[in-house]
Amino acid sequence: SGKTFTAITFIYRLLKYAKAKKILFLVDTKNLGEQAEQEFMAYMPNDDNRKFCELYGVHRLKSSFIPTDNQVYISTIQRMYSILRGEELDEYAEETNPNEIQWGSKRAAVPVAYNPKLPVEFFDFVVIDECHRSIYNLWKQVLEYFDAFQIGLTATPDNRTFGYFNQNIVSEYTHEQAITDGVNVGYNVFQIDTEVTQKGGVIWKGEYVDHREKLTRKKRWEQLDEDVTYTAKKLDDKVVNPNQIRLIIKTFKDHLPEMFPDRYAADGVFEVPKTLIFAKTDSHANDIIEMVRQEFGEENRFCKKITYNTEDPKGTLSEFRNQYYPRIAVTVDMIATGTDVKPLECLLFMRDVKSRNYFEQMKGRGTRTINIDDLKKVTPSAKYTKDHFVIVDAIGVTKSLKTDSRPLEKKPGIPLEDLLAAVAVGARDEDLFTSLANRLIRLEKQITEKEKLKFSEQAEGKSISQVAKELLQAYNPDTLDCIRQNIEQEMTGASPAAKEEAFARQQHALIETAATVFTGELNMYIENVRKAHEQVMDTVNPDKLLNVGWDTNLAAEAAAQVQDFTDWINQQKDEIIALQLFYGQPYQRRELTYKMLADLVETIKTNKPTLAPLNIWRAYGQ
């Protein structure tokens, strides 16, 4: 609903009228930082003909260097943390939302010390975008470091968010108000339930099936020597059922005219609205794209993947936002939160989400309004402005049990990618190094010689075992005792403090030697190669539809809303002039003026915003 625009507006006023000198705009992913930078560049104040960037300096931090001649600084919280610790940060560490890294919530925070290059009084205000995500645990230190006023922005606060800000809500704008004001649009839910999606399947012993390598996607034909039973949770991980993906995509295609009945071009051809599909993994996204292109009978540009692993994600995202093609985009996490694609009219969920906040953020990709002229630039067949979007639930995401926030979920194991991400953002504790070393030792036994060689090329010539050994050596008691003995021999007569300083310096060198090998490129390679080498391709079991159509709960909600509107009208009919005229006069004598109707609408907006005219018309339509 325009949080960034609102933030830029009050930042402008703080700089112009409140004598603020420097303001930090804090985000938690590189993608959101780039988007915020673009919005600052495009913003034009109401009281000046110049753009914001012509009036004030705006700088997005890309290294540890901080210029002193700007007024607005945009940074990820990961980069600010590394700057305060006096370390460089690989851009890879900024691509992942730190709230998704489980290690950060389990380990003891590495303390942030005073940094003379960035004194505590450097910023007057700190604006925290998506403040429900990254203001806890390790990252809280960044906010506590600065002696500045903190302003949080979020569409999905939870109890911890209210607690952190002492329940000091400066301004609140609800989703219902945003819909009523035409700032956001509502949504309808369309269900696609299939048997395999809900129950999984069984491939019987003796069947010949494909086994596919995840990394190279090479296939080999092999006979099963035992039954393979897979549940819904294992689907698209250990087992891929192309028939299930095909059935969902085909059903989606067949029912698009039902969801968008007005999207026929002049030549009678149906035009697919801009659609975003949420996939489980990068490999799953590739399978979905293949099926979309087959079922829709379209060329490659019709459907594209937008993830951090693609060649030009920013360019593809820009095309999806501003050009006719692609019509359908498939993503995992990159545009799940914070990224605006205003022409988006359909969200297809093929992955479940357990965090209520994250799900609300994902739904938010479809809520943005767009005027009819801009919509027609990318969807020429559109006849009306965007007044709603459709969620196609093919996985049960709208019905699954959700928790308030992901960090509260207690999981016994931490994924390897989270351990790598923790090292990337500066974590150096013993438990992390030990866990990572053990994972690498196990990984070495699973991968091929060719993959080991590739690892060595990206790890400064070191083998997996060497890297694991360095991780273990950094905190190995025998190694540390040896260092102490050498220091005692070399620094005879020196003070205990000097010896302790020398010891700390040498141990720090061991730790950094072990950690610096984990560059963004190597981490990405490890994440890819560590995945199970093969998936079983279930081409034996067909899938079948169990249910397809509009969510029945939606119809019940619509009926309840119509009844609520009827009850309210009956209660208010003696108090509102327009209703008095309507109910109290014979039909021929009922004369309504525009002002009376406008007053009625204003009363509804004030007293019952959920009964706004657009909502009621849609409820009657259901």
51 and 158 belong to one structural domain: yes
- Separation of CA 368 from chain center: 16
pLDDT at 302: 96
How many C-alpha atoms does 471 have within 13 Å on its Cβ side?
A: 29
What residue type is assigned to position 603 of the chain?
Answer: T
pLDDT at 607: 64
In a domain, 211, yes or no: no
259 and 127 belong to one structural domain: no
440 and 357 belong to one structural domain: no
Give the global pTM: 0.62
In a domain, 573, yes or no: yes
Distant-in-sequence, close-in-space partners of 311: CB < 8 Å, separation ≥ 6: none
Element (H, E) at 189: strand 186-194
Q: Which residues of the chain have pLDDT under 50?
A: 105-107, 404-412
Domain boundary among 536, 563, 584: 536
The tokens describing 492, both together, are 């005879």
Domain boundary among 510, 536, 562: 536
The tokens describing 367, both together, are 């809520």
pLDDT at 347: 94
375 and 502 belong to one structural domain: no
12 and 106 belong to one structural domain: yes
pLDDT at 314: 81
524 and 439 belong to one structural domain: yes
CATH of the domain at 40: 3.40.50.300
Q: Is the dihedral of CA 316, 320, 325, 331 positive or negative?
A: positive
291 and 389 belong to one structural domain: yes
pLDDT at 579: 53
Instruction: Dump the DSSP string for 212-240.
Output: EETTT--EEEEE-SS-EEE-GGGBTTTEE
What residue type is assigned to position 341 of the chain?
Answer: V
Cα dihedral value 261, 262, 264, 266, nearest 10: 150
In a domain, 542, yes or no: no
Closest CA to 58 of 23, 97, 105, 85: 23
Q: CA-to-CA distance for 51 and 540, rounded, in angstroms? A: 61
425 and 368 belong to one structural domain: no
In a domain, 387, yes or no: yes
316 and 422 belong to one structural domain: no
pLDDT at 388: 83
366 and 466 belong to one structural domain: no
Supply the range of the domain harboring residue 459. Answer: 416-536
In a domain, 97, yes or no: yes
Cβ burial, residue 92 (10 Å; 0-12/13-18/19+): buried
Mean pLDDT value across the chain = 82
491 and 558 belong to one structural domain: no
Cα end-to-end distance, the chain, whole Å: 26
The tokens describing 576, both together, are 């509102």
- Token look-up 């960044």 returns 142
Task: State how beta strands 228-230 and 201-203 pair.
Answer: antiparallel
424 and 521 belong to one structural domain: yes
Q: CA-to-CA distance for 404 and 104, rounded, in angstroms? A: 18
In a domain, 216, yes or no: no
Buried b / exposed e over 450-488, threshold 16 CB at 10 Å, is ebbeebeebbeebebeebbbbbbbbbeeeebeebbeebe
In a domain, 243, yes or no: yes
In a domain, 517, yes or no: yes
Distant-in-sequence, close-in-space partners of 409: CB < 8 Å, separation ≥ 6: 354, 355, 403
Domain count, the chain: 4
pLDDT at 609: 64
Domain boundary among 350, 374, 404: 404
